[in-house]
Copies of this chain bind each other. A is one copy, B any other.
Amino acid sequence: MPCLACPLRLKPAFKDKTDDEVRFIQSMKVEHRRLPPGADIIHPGQEDAELYTLFAGWAFRYQLLPDGRRQILNFLLPGDLVGLQASLLSAAQHGIEALTEVELCVFSRKRVWDLFVRMPSLSYEIAWLGSREESLIDQNLTSVGQRNAGERIAALVISLYRRADALGLVADNSFRFPLSQQQLADALGLSLVHTSKTWSRLRKAGLFSTSDGRLTLLNPRLTSRMALLYERELEPRPLI
């Protein structure tokens, strides 16, 4: 599919691009790749990672400790840049794994430098997207460091809900939610068992329900309050 006709461009979350910019992006694209759930997109320690955007599906970034413990750092949704850190730094400290079946636009890592020389607007956007991802990780770190189990779950659900909503993936307060409890636990910094118990406690309290791999937010107000969010959320906006 040509980038000019990319359906992601139509979503409100995406900035308008000039034809020149889109053509340049198209010229960097070397492949459109489809991977099954659980596939490695970037392997921990990989030195020659390409740069991707996630065209469809969900993925996550994670880091391992030598004894096997795993921390999920953040989740990636359609439109997100994948592997920027691994492309700029010479070796990935993290891995990236497909959570669902995914489609990736593969870009030539070697031409990233060319992009910085010739397309300042796109390089600015790359830096901006990097900062936005960092801001997400900041919030996860605050969650894991300061919130208790129930608050963490509420905060994660709200965060994913808002991101899905911005992509038009929410209908009737309900959206696809493909995380296993083990993945939830690794993202929240909790044990599997405690995650399961807390998760079902919040379900029974009427915050949300799940069925068929989808999550429905039944009580957004209560969930936000439990997540200890500020009333006024700061939406990231570009400077230019």
Contacts and interface: CB of A to CB of B under 8 A. Distances in A.
A93 to B, nearest CB: 5
B131 A189 contact: no
B116 A123 contact: yes
Interface stretch (A8-16, A99-107, A138-146, A161-169): A138-146
Interface in A171-223: 186, 188-189
A73 B113 CA distance: 30
- Taking residues whose C-beta sits less than 8 angstroms from the other chain, chain A's interface range is 35 or more
Interface of A: 45, 61, 63, 65-67, 69-71, 73, 84-85, 87-91, 93-94, 109, 112-113, 116-117, 120-121, 123-124, 126-128, 130-135, 137-142, 144-147, 186, 188-189, 228-230, 234, 236-240
Interface centre among A63, A91, A229, A238, by most chain B C-beta atoms within 10 angstroms, is A63
Nearest to A140: B141
B123 A239 contact: no
Nearest to A190: B145
20 contacts: A45-B234, A66-B229, A66-B230, A70-B146, A87-B239, A88-B127, A90-B239, A91-B237, A93-B135, A93-B138, A94-B138, A113-B240, A116-B124, A116-B127, A123-B124, A127-B130, A130-B131, A134-B134, A134-B137, A141-B144
B189 A146 contact: yes
Label chain A's interface by main secondary structure.
helix
A29 B228 CA distance: 39
A138 B121 CA distance: 27
Given A113-B124, A144-B141, A85 B239 contact: no
A123 B116 CA distance: 7
A234 to B, nearest CB: 5
Given A124-B116, A144-B189, A146-B65, A93 B139 contact: yes
Contacts of A128: 88-89
B237 A73 contact: no
A196 B109 CA distance: 46
B123 A90 contact: no
5 closest A-B pairs by CB: A145-B189, A71-B142, A116-B120, A69-B146, A71-B145
